[in-house]
């Protein structure tokens, strides 16, 4: 389950940012996890709770947004929104799509003290 490693990476990033910005506690994290990023949000939330125990992020509320995926259709030349890598182009039905967004994970906001 790579969500455990992602949760640990998130906690590590929070600890590093606490050193840089001088906060002692994380109360809430707003995270954007792209729909095409191969991450299960519920599993990530569970893993975050586990790995944050005993850290400055213990008990923090984790809010996960799921931005849609985007792709460029090489068949019709359109930029389209997709929710899965196996979706066809919603305009022409073609499958020659080049993914252009929705694969990343970003910290959008922090509530700290």
How many other C-beta atoms are found inside a 10 Å radius of the C-beta of residue 26?
25
Domain coordinates of the chain in residue numbers? 2-112
pLDDT > 90 fraction of the chain, expressed in percent and rounded: 99
Report pLDDT digits (tens) over 29-65.
999 999 999 999 999 999 999 999 999 999 999 999 9
43: exposed, middle or buried (Cβ count in 10 Å: 0-12, 13-18, 19+): middle
Token look-up 């929104």 returns: 81
- Bridge partners of 80? 71
Identify whether the C-beta of residue 90 lies closer than 8 Å to the C-beta of residue 75. no
What pLDDT shows up at residue 1? 61
Report pLDDT digits (tens) over 64-73.
999 999 999 9
User: Model's pTM, two decimal places?
Assistant: 0.88
Top-level class of domain 2-112 = alpha beta
Q: Give the Cα separation of 84 and 25 in Å (integer).
A: 36
b/e per residue 80-97 (b: at least 16 CB within 10 A):
bebeeeeebbeeeeeeeb
């Amino acid at each position: 389950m790579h969500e455990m490693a992602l949760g640990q990476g998130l906690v590590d990033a929070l600890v590093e940012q606490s050193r840089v910005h001088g906060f002692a506690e994380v109360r809430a994290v707003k995270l954007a996890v792209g729909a095409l990023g191969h991450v299960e949000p519920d599993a990530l939330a569970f893993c975050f709770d586990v790995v944050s125990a005993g850290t400055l992020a213990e008990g923090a509320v984790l809010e996960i947004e799921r931005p849609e995926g985007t792709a460029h259709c090489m068949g019709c030349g359109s930029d389209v929104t997709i929710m899965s890598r196996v979706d066809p182009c919603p305009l022409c039905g073609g499958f020659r799509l080049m993914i252009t967004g929705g694969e990343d994970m970003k910290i959008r906001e922090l509530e700290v003290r």
